[in-house]
Amino acid sequence: MNSTPYAPGPIKSMPHLGLKDRNTFGLDATADIAYEITAPGEIAGVMREVNTQNLPWRVLGGGSNVILPKVLPGATLLMNITGQEILPSDQNATLIAVGGGVNWHEFVAWTLENNLPGLENLALIPGTVGAAPIQNIGAYGIEIADYIDSIEAFDVKIHAFVTLSKDDCQFAYRNSYFKQHPQRFIVAKVVFKIPKVWQAKIHYADLAKQFEENPNPTAEEIFLAVCKIRTHKLPDPKVIGNAGSFFHNPVIPNEQYETLLKKYVDLASYPDAPGKRKLAAGWLIDQCGFKGQRMGEVGVYENQALVLVNYGNGTAQDILGLAKCIQDKVRNEFGVSLEIEPNIL
């Protein structure tokens, strides 16, 4: 990890800012003081303020993976560093530096418009570029980790910008060094490494089905197919509040998987590390009868049981109450614990 000293930039604060339209669950929350961050130097400036006043703080990107309380005390950094730049690259891969505040889906579309295919399987994932590596977003057979070169972040511990290599990031399924060290890094820029030789990745079941008749699709065709599948299975946060998958897919030992499979022959699962199996949490929740169920202002989405939704006036407490019911029932039925995916602030 290399570090560089910083020159704090000017800061712009917004007191008592409503965040209902800045979190995809659509929760009614207010930030005590919000800071809009448009350049890396501003992060340093705000964090100096945070330190001097000993304020609690957090970063909000696209707000697509958070459960917000009614009031967020202290400082809320709204990440809005934009811009993408193609860096000097070699013959094997193209390097692209992208601001942490860039919308993820718009970036994926931009790569295709600029003839840099590779990220198309990750189309339509809500959120920002800066938030994407924290939980190592993944879908339809690929993970963002496969395409990261390095990350420029503000290290709160040493008050300097650091560059983390892909290895430093310790990416794993929905996990990273950033997630393991909450409140330590603020991602300013992500450098992507897109291989120059492209190969379609359509092995994921839903995608394979789309291309039964067309085994050699273009990246654009894959992009459109992923958008179609996601639009059907996952609710549009602009229409109905949600944070995508609400639980991780649980990983269990092979022996436990074999025992479950004897009782539930159509148990949905994926291969994982040797000796382990990843179960489809959506299948487990669906089997417990939750799909499409409503509990007051919140519920379980009708097309994908892994997604919890807010019908409009739900609170963090309502969502966590429903989550607890689901966790209890799945544990009783299958002996499997479900871990919540979004960050509970």
Residues marked active site are found at: 174, 245, 341
318: Cα separation from own chain's centroid: 22
β-strand partners of 152? 163, 189
Looking only at residues 174 through 213 of this chain, which bind ligand EPU when binding is defined by CB under 6 A? Answer: 204, 206
Is residue 35 near ligand EPU by the rule CB under 6 A? Answer: no
Which residue, among 247, 319, 236, has the nearest Cα to 283 in the 3D structure? 247
Q: What share of the chain is helix, strand, coil (3-state, %, to 5)?
A: 30, 30, 40
Two structure tokens written together for 156: 């709160």
Ramachandran class of 277: left when φ > 0, alpha when ψ lies in -120 to 50, beta otherwise: beta
Task: Report the residue number, 34 or 145, with the smaller CB distance to ligand EPU.
Answer: 145
Residue with token string 């890094």: 185
Is residue 282 near ligand EPU by the rule CB under 6 A? Answer: yes
Long-range (24+ apart) CB contacts under 8 A made by 224-230 are 226/120, 226/121, 226/122, 226/123, 226/124, 226/139, 226/140, 227/123, 227/124, 229/140, 230/123, 230/124, 230/125, 230/139
Q: Min. distance of Cβ 157 from ligand EPU in angstroms? A: 28
> Which stretches of the chain are DSSP H helices?
40-53, 104-113, 177-180, 205-210, 219-233, 254-263, 281-287, 316-334
Q: Min. distance of Cβ 54 from ligand EPU in angstroms? A: 34
Task: Report the residue number, 161 or 246, with the smaller CB distance to ligand EPU.
Answer: 246
Task: Report the residue number, 1 or 205, with the smaller CB distance to ligand EPU.
Answer: 205
Q: Number of residues in contact with ligand EPU, rule: CB under 6 A?
A: 20
Task: Report the residue number, 174 or 189, with the smaller CB distance to ligand EPU.
Answer: 174
Is residue 223 near ligand EPU by the rule CB under 6 A? Answer: no
Binding mask 230-249 for ligand EPU (x = CB under 6 A): ---xx---------xx--xx
**CA–CA gap between residue 120 and residue 210 (Å, rounded):** 15
Q: Min. distance of Cβ 324 from ligand EPU in angstroms? A: 18
Is residue 304 near ligand EPU by the rule CB under 6 A? Answer: yes
β-strand partners of 293? none
Is residue 330 near ligand EPU by the rule CB under 6 A? Answer: no
8 Å CB contact between 49 and 31: no
Residue with token string 């979190």: 23
β-strand partners of 148? 192
Q: Min. distance of Cβ 132 from ligand EPU in angstroms? A: 11
Is residue 306 near ligand EPU by the rule CB under 6 A? Answer: yes
Task: Report the residue number, 155 or 286, with the smaller CB distance to ligand EPU.
Answer: 286
Contact with ligand EPU (CB under 6 A): which of 161, 185, 283, 334? 283
Residue nearest to ligand EPU (CB): 244
Looking only at residues 126 through 155 of this chain, which bind ligand EPU when binding is defined by CB under 6 A? Answer: 139-140
Task: Report the residue number, 252 or 306, with the smaller CB distance to ligand EPU.
Answer: 306
Q: Min. distance of Cβ 229 from ligand EPU in angstroms? A: 8
The contact set with ligand EPU (CB under 6 A) reads: 139-140, 204, 206, 233-234, 244-245, 248-249, 268, 280, 282-283, 286, 291, 304-306, 341
